[in-house]
Structure 1
């Protein structure tokens, strides 16, 4: 999706519902909701909420290979929709999975048909759509398994003859434990309705995007309500040294939150953006970040290296995260009033080196930082 030299910010927009009866998604698909499509490597079980221990719901999937890298690369964001959990960073999990392009093509000779792309890829490297993974049965052969089972039976036989009651009791306890473990694993998290995500460059929006007039109207309403003049649209953060940026930085909103005012100004050209992507770029904070953010962002748990900002989820995504059962008017499952995500922005930091060991058997966990929205009703 990007290289070290990239400075372009890409925006993710909702691009229609993903109907699983008509389209087959894969790890090459950018999408909201649904189930995760793993890049050959899947976790043994879904991540769980650190607060309530419930399985997390899949929120967003982003296919984001790096330029000049031989790997396919996908990020999955999970969150707990339970009341009181979604605004906490420890109730979110980001998993990164990768696989070699040659490894993927050689091990998948008959890929199923991929959903047609409805919009631009995240980057030039993301052009190998159509690959779908098959589960490897993990069995290297049959003879060794049978021989081992026979030896185990021979060793167990004398014990059964000597103490049938004791063995029966142990087997019963084992079955109860396995049954309890299976019940815990079978608790399915709420599933959000899936949507395709299309991609545009933020710089293309100024003066050309079809919703620009609507964005201008929203901006003017915000200025009247807050008693602040945020300046003309199109002023860039990187140009703050100019008079326009300097004037804005000195302006104080009526509620006194200059960071939030700056956030509103930046997204005013496209308030319906649900995701911002700029690896190694600067995050857009919705409220004042902690002064020790560099220390808050932990180092990569896999290689011990530093992390860099890669993407963030935006407030407009909140209204899209509704359970599949809610659409049918059903009770229970995802989408209940007690189970919905609320956040301002979720910032994702990933390993700077995007470390990966070929043949790895599990995804790499990355870091996310959550900020609540100080004025959520603006995005409803």
Structure 2
């Protein structure tokens, strides 16, 4: 689908997260929340503080989102953390918003599944060997001389017997009792592949050798008020573009403008779908959001992000110039295993209102992004495990589409 295609009515494949109740002491690592402090998959296994430091000012950033995002068929818990710098001077600077993925493997399950997989592989090998031996025996037999009389009057093909005997010579295949189904085996294989994925040695060593940085005491960390999220499927109405429904917080980028008065014409103006479509991308964003205005998170792993603009740096990066469509192959590849990354989730503008409300931050001095897009490793490769708790963390890609300024 083109990034500026108007939405059609009905249920979509996107899951939406909405603010529910204020998060309290009952919150765990497996709750999806906005704001608050990070909760680690194991309390004794925090991520390195370096993963949550602003690349511009080097200070610790503030948690925007902690999303529980376990994947089907895997043997580990999985969480996505998103942080942003509150320093006004860092806005719009690269690395002022960051995200990383945390996993916690169940080592007991891993061993049990590995043992089951080994037994299944041995059973298949035995069956294949028996079939090969039987085929070899049949090939070594001399051609059979058939008696025409028997063939016509019995004791041969005429009574339905097999031309090469009744199968008694074949080696019986050992019956193996196994509680797993074929679907189980496929999921096991996929899960084991995730945990044993081949990683470039230089890339792996560089990540593993990154020194761990401890976190300051919790009372020294800044945080927004935290809210639990509830999740439900997205439903859209089928309506024509109506600019009266546009959230007044958004501004439409003038046709051909790049957001910088000192720059010349937009380089995309020469494309078949010219700058007139820049407004259509934003219009589609505004129309889609207007159906569910209090959404704070959109989740659709391996889906497509809802772009805020096609004219900014991120829009130009994610949209294929030839097709005019979103292309995840254009996202920087996973630094750990080298595979492509795929869209996983994005934070929406209502997050800003929810987090800053009651925080004492003037809306004109607060966050000013249109959407924050998070893409993760397509293979969901297992990062270096930092201790015997089976916990590991991996930096992921973030693309921030900032509010347009005139």
TM-score (norm: length of structure 2):
0.54
The aligned counterpart of 1:221 is: 244
Residue 32 of structure 1 corresponds to which residue in structure 2?
34
CA distance in 2, matches of 1:19, 1:223: 34
1:351 matched to 2:377: yes
Aligned to 1:270: 292
Q: Structure 2 stretches of 5 or more lacking a match? A: 1-11, 111-212, 253-272, 319-327
Aligned partners of 2:383 and 2:394 also within 8 Å: no
1:97 maps to which residue? 102
SS of match in other structure, 2:335? coil
What does 1:122-133 correspond to in 2, within 5 Å?
A: none
1:67 aligns with 2:69: no
Q: Is contact 2:309-2:315 (8 Å) kept?
A: no
| Equivalences for residues 363-378 of structure 1 within 5 A | 363-374=393-404
Q: Secondary structure of the residue that 1:37 maps to in structure 2?
A: coil
- The answer for the alignment partner of 1:43 in structure 2 is 47
Name the SS of the counterpart of 1:368 in structure 2: strand
Output the CA distance in 2 between the equivalents of 1:75 and 1:67: 16
Unmatched segments (≥5 aa) in structure 1: 1-6, 106-180, 208-215, 229-248, 330-334
Question: Distance in 2 between the 1:270 and 1:337 partners?
Answer: 22
SS at match of 2:13: coil
Structure 1 residue 221: Cα displacement: 2.1
Higher radius of gyration, 1 or 2: 2
In the alignment, is the contact (CA less than 8 A) between 1:100 and 1:358 conserved in 2? no
**Matching of residues 248-327 of structure 1 within 5 Å:** 257-288=279-310, 289-293=314-318, 297-322=331-356, 327=359
Residues in 2 aligned to 1:58 and 1:82: alpha-carbon distance in whole angstroms: 13
Report how far residue 251 of structure 1 moved: 12
How many aligned positions are there? 252
Residue 153 of structure 1: aligned partner: none
Distance 1:261 1:314 in 2: 15
Report the 3-state secondary structure (helix = DSSP H, G, I; strand = E; otherwise coil) of the residue aligned with 2:381. coil
- Listed one character per residue, the Cα deviations across residues 36-74 of structure 1 (whole Å, up to 9, x for unaligned) are 111234223252111111111111000011111111100
Tell me, in whole angstroms, the C-alpha distance in 2 between the residues paired with 1:353 and 1:318: 31
Deviations 1:11-39 (A, max 9, x none): 0101121133xxx2111100011111112
Shift of residue 93 of structure 1? 1.4
SS for the counterpart of 1:344 is: strand
Farther off after superposition, 34-43 or 82-91: 82-91
- TM-score, normalised relative to structure 1: 0.57
- Give the CA deviation at 1:274: 0.6
Moved over 3 A (4+): 86-89, 101-105, 184-189, 222-226, 249-253, 289-296, 335-340, 357-362
CA distance in 1, matches of 2:247, 2:297: 27
